[in-house]
Amino acid sequence: MNHLLQIYPYLVAGWIFLCGLYGIASSKHLVHMVISLAVLQTSTYVLLLNIGFRKNGIAPIFADLSPGIITVDAVVQALMLTDVVVEATVVALLLAMVVKVHEKAGTLSPDDLRLMRG
Amino acid sequence: MTSLPALPIALPLLAAAFLAGARKWLRRWMVDLAAVLTAGANLALTTMLLERSWHGNIVYWFGNWFPRGRMVLGIGFEVDPVGAGLAVLASLLTLLALIYSWRAIESGQNLYQPLMLIFLAAMCGFVMTADLFNLFVFFELMSTAAFALCGLKVQEPAPLQGAFNFAVTNTVGAFLILTGIALLYAVTGALNMAQIGWLLGSRHDSLVVAACAFIISGFLVKAAIAPFHFWLPDAHSVAPTAVCVLFSGLMVELGVFAVLRLTTVIFGAGIGAGHPELRNTLLVLGSLTVLWGGVMCFSEHHLKRILAFSTISHSGAMLLGAALGTPVAVCGWIIYLFAHAMAKAGLFFTAGILLHRLRTMSEPALFGRGRPLRFTAVLWLLGGMALAGLPPFGLAQGADLMEAAAGSPQLGRCLSFLLLFTGTMTAAAVFHVLLRVFAGAGDAGPSDRASEVGELPESSEETNRIPGRMFVPAAVCIALAAAPSFVPHAGKFAIRAASLFLSRDAYIHQIYSMPGSPLSVALPPISLVSSLLRGLAAVVIAAALAGAAVGHKHVPRPYRWATRLEGRLFPLRQLQSGHPGDYVVWCMVGFVLVGGCLFAFQ
C-alpha cells in the first residue's frame, strides 16, 4: 500500500502526459491543440512537485524556522515556477499565432491548414 | 575582466530590451546600426573568451556563489573552447544576418532586431552554461525567440502555419527534456552538470537510463534527427532568409552539441562509456536521418525546403560524428559543423538574393529566370560543391576525420557511404536548381503544393540590382566554408578543442577549482588524395543525378527509374503531412525507439 502511494503521483504525471499527447494528436481545432499542449505541460508540474515532496514537510519559508524542521524541497518549487513562466510565454505566443491564423485563413481546423504538405 | 563570460549574454539582452522599448523614438537606420554594433561587440567578446578558454576552462559563478566542498550552490558557467567557439559562430552568423537584412521590410516592424539579439544571447548562454536547468531555460528562450522570428511575416498564412508546427513540436521536445532533468534531480539532488556527473559516476540503472532517453530525445527534436525532424522544413521554408541562416547554421546543430555535452559530462562514465547501446542508438538514428534527409532533399522543388532537408541530412552526419565520441571524431565534427554552417548560410543568403530579385522561391516559377545573375550562380555552384564535400571546403576534412575515427573497418565503410550519400544527394538538389533556374536546362520540373507556398519579398527596394549588403555576406560565408583548409593549424586547434571538450574529469574538476588533466590526442594523418577523390566522386554523381532529373526525357528507358526519385508522389513526402499532431506522434515514436534501444541493449 505504501509502495503504491509512492508510485501513484508518477502514474498521474504519466497519465496527464498521455492525455495531452492524445489531445494534440487528435486535435481538430488549433485552440484545443494549444490547450492540450498546456495539459501536457502540467504533467511536469506534478512530476517536479512529487520529486520535492517530503513526508510531513512544510512550506519552505525559512524566515522563522528553527533548524531541523522538515520542509519540502525549495529548489524543485523554484524549477516549477520557472516552468510556469516558460509555459505561459509559449502558450501566449501560440494563441497570438492562432488569432492571426484565424484572421488570415478564416478557419482553425488543422486539417484545412496544410499549406506545408509534402 | 573576471565577469567576461556573462557579458555575451548580458549585452545582447540589454540591447534587445533597449531597442524594444526605444524603437518608437528611433529612426530605422539607428535600430539597425545598434543591432549590428551589438552583434559585432558580441563577436569581439566571444573571441576574447575563446582565446582565454584555450588554457583551460573558464568557470564563472553568478553572484559569487562558489561551491562549498562538493556541494554546488549557485549557477555557474563553464566555458571550454568548443562552447566559446560556438558562441563566436553564433555572433558571426547573427552579425552577417543583421547586415544582410539591413533596411529590409520586416526589420522596420515586428521587433525583428530585438528578437535576433535575444536569440543570440540564448545561443551564447546555451553553449556556455554548466547548469542543467539553466541549459533548459536558455533552450526555451532560444526556442521562443525562434518561434516568433519564424512567424515574423504575419501578413501571410504560410509563415504562421510553419511557425505553429515548429512551436508545438519543439515545445513537446522541451517537456521531454524537463522530465529528464526532473528525474536526474530525483536521483542526484543536483542540477550542476559536473556535480550530477560526479554523483552518478558509472551508475546506469533503469531510472538513469530513462532520464537519459528523455533528455536525448528532447534534444534530438531540436537537432531534427529522423523521426523527430518534421518541423524543420516547415519552419525553414517560411522563415525570413536571415533567420533561416541562424536556424540551419547553428540552432539545429546545437541540439547535437547538447547531446554530446550531456553524454560526455553527465552520462560519460555510465551509459556513455564502454556501453555501446547509446552509441549504437545514435548511429542508427543518424544513418536514418542521412538517408531520409538526402532523398527528401532531392525530391523537393522549393529552394528553402531543399536547403532545409539538406540541413536534416547533414545534421544526421554530424550526429554520426558525435555518436562516435572519440577526440578525432569530435575534431571532425567541429570542422564539419563550422564548414556546414558557413556553406549553408551562404546558400541561404544566395537563395535570399534570388527572392529579392525574382520574388519567388519556387523552382518551377524560377525556371530559366536566373540566367542574367552570373555571380549569384557562381555562389550557388560553390555552395553545392561545399555541401558535396569537395576539398578545399571544410566538410571534406571533417568527413575524413570522422571516418578515421570509426574504429572497425565495417563501420568505417558504412560511414564513408553515408557521408558520401549526404554530400551527393544534397549537392544533387542544389545542382538541379542550378540547371533549371540559372541555365534554363530541360523542363521546369514538376510543380507541387509545397513549392507554391508564396513568400513576401523581403525588401522594398528596386529589384533590378543586387545590393552589396546581400551579396557580401553570401560571398563571405562561402569563402569561410573553405577556411579550415587554409588557416594554418586549424586541424590542430580543433583536435585540442575536442580533447578539452571530451575531458570529463577536467570539466568536473574545474567546477571545484581542482587541477584536472585534459586528454591530449594527436591528429591522425589524412590522405589528401582520397579526400579529393571522394569529393570529386560526390560532385560527379550529384551532377549526373541532377542532369538525369532535369533532362529525364533524354534518359534511356532502362535508367529512367532513377529520374523518378524526383517525382512528387514519392511516398516519403506523404509523411510530411503539415499537421502538427502527426509530427508530435512521430516524435513519440522516436522517443519510444530511443528508450527501447537503450533498455533493450542494456
Separation of alpha carbons B436 and B424, rounded Å = 18
DSSP annotation of B6: G
Mean pLDDT along residues B186-201: 93
Mean pLDDT along residues B98-122: 84
Determine whether B556 is exposed, middle or buried from the number of CB atoms within 10 Å of its CB (0-12, 13-18, 19+).
Answer: exposed
pLDDT, position B105: 59
Chain B residue closest in CA terms to A30: B164
pLDDT, position B498: 93
**Strand, coil or helix: B372:** coil
Interface test with B, best of A19, A98, A116 (most B CBs within 10 A): A116
pLDDT, position B156: 81
Stated as kind and residue range, the H or E segment containing B79 is: strand B76-79
Residues of A with CB under 8 A from a CB of B: 17, 21, 24-27, 30, 33-34, 37, 40-41, 43-44, 47-48, 51, 75-76, 79, 82-83, 86, 89-90, 93-94, 97-98, 100-101, 104-105, 110-111, 113-118
In tens, the pLDDT along B413-434 reads: 999 999 999 999 999 999 999 9
Mean pLDDT of chain B: 90
pLDDT, position B602: 66
Mean pLDDT along residues A2-13: 86
In tens, the pLDDT along B480-497 reads: 999 999 998 899 999 999
Higher pLDDT, residue B573 or B483 = B483
CA distance A50 to chain B (A): 9
* Total-model pTM: 0.95
pLDDT, position B450: 65
pLDDT, position B182: 95
pLDDT at B515 over 80: no
Separation of alpha carbons B225 and B173, rounded Å = 12
Mean pLDDT along residues A29-47: 95
- The 10 Å CB-count burial string (b at 16+, else e) for A39-56 is bbbbbbbbbbbbbbeeee
Cβ <8 Å between B133 and A110: no
Residue B579 has its nearest CB partner, among A41, A47, A111, at A111
Chain A residue closest in CA terms to B175: A41
pLDDT, position B274: 58
Contacts of A28 in chain B (CB under 8 A): none
Separation of alpha carbons B398 and B420, rounded Å = 12
**Hey, what amino acid is at B96?**
L
pLDDT band at B397 (very low <50, low <70, confident <90, very high): very high
Contacts of B148 in chain A (CB under 8 A): 93
Residue B350 sits at φ, ψ, to 5 deg, of: -65, -40
pLDDT band at B1 (very low <50, low <70, confident <90, very high): low
Residue B580 has its nearest CB partner, among A79, A110, A115, at A110
Question: How long a stretch of residues is chain B?
Answer: 602
Residue A118 has its nearest CB partner, among B154, B162, B576, at B576
Mean pLDDT along residues A20-43: 95
Contacts of B577 in chain A (CB under 8 A): 114, 117
Percent of chain B with pLDDT over 90: 67
Checking ipTM against 0.90, whether it exceeds it is: yes
Mean pLDDT along residues B339-356: 95
pLDDT band at B522 (very low <50, low <70, confident <90, very high): confident
The Cβ of residue B8 has, within 10 Å, a number of other Cβ atoms equal to 31
CA distance A118 to chain B (A): 5
Contacts of B579 in chain A (CB under 8 A): 110-111, 114
Cβ <8 Å between B161 and A115: yes
Region of poorest pLDDT, from B34-43, B163-172, B238-247, B448-457: B448-457
pLDDT band at B82 (very low <50, low <70, confident <90, very high): very high
Residue B144 has its nearest CB partner, among A75, A93, A101, at A93
Contacts of A110 in chain B (CB under 8 A): 579-581
pLDDT at B133 over 90: yes
pLDDT at B360 over 90: no
pLDDT, position B262: 94
Stated as kind and residue range, the H or E segment containing B234 is: helix B231-238
pLDDT at B462 over 60: no
Chains A, B: CB pairs < 8 Å: 131
Cβ <8 Å between B175 and A116: no
Region of poorest pLDDT, from B45-54, B198-207, B229-238, B450-459: B450-459
Separation of alpha carbons B265 and B212, rounded Å = 12
Torsion angle of C-alpha atoms B212, B218, B223, B226, degrees rounded to 10: 90
pLDDT at B449 over 70: no
Cβ <8 Å between A118 and B163: no
Q: How far apart are the first and last CA of chain A?
A: 52
DSSP annotation of B163: H
pLDDT band at B453 (very low <50, low <70, confident <90, very high): low
Separation of alpha carbons B436 and B585, rounded Å = 37
Cβ <8 Å between A116 and B580: no
Contacts of B585 in chain A (CB under 8 A): 25
pLDDT band at B562 (very low <50, low <70, confident <90, very high): low
Region of poorest pLDDT, from A48-57, B119-128, B449-458, B509-518: B449-458
Contacts of B573 in chain A (CB under 8 A): 118
pLDDT at B27 over 90: no
In tens, the pLDDT along B306-339 reads: 999 999 999 999 999 999 989 999 999 999 999 9
Cβ <8 Å between B182 and A75: no
Query: B41-45, B368-372, B529-533 — which one is most confidently predicted on average?
Result: B41-45
Higher pLDDT, residue B531 or B460 = B531
Higher pLDDT, residue B364 or A25 = A25
pLDDT, position B273: 63
pLDDT at B570 over 90: no
pLDDT band at B230 (very low <50, low <70, confident <90, very high): very high
Mean pLDDT along residues B94-103: 92
pLDDT, position B556: 75
Mean pLDDT along residues B51-66: 91
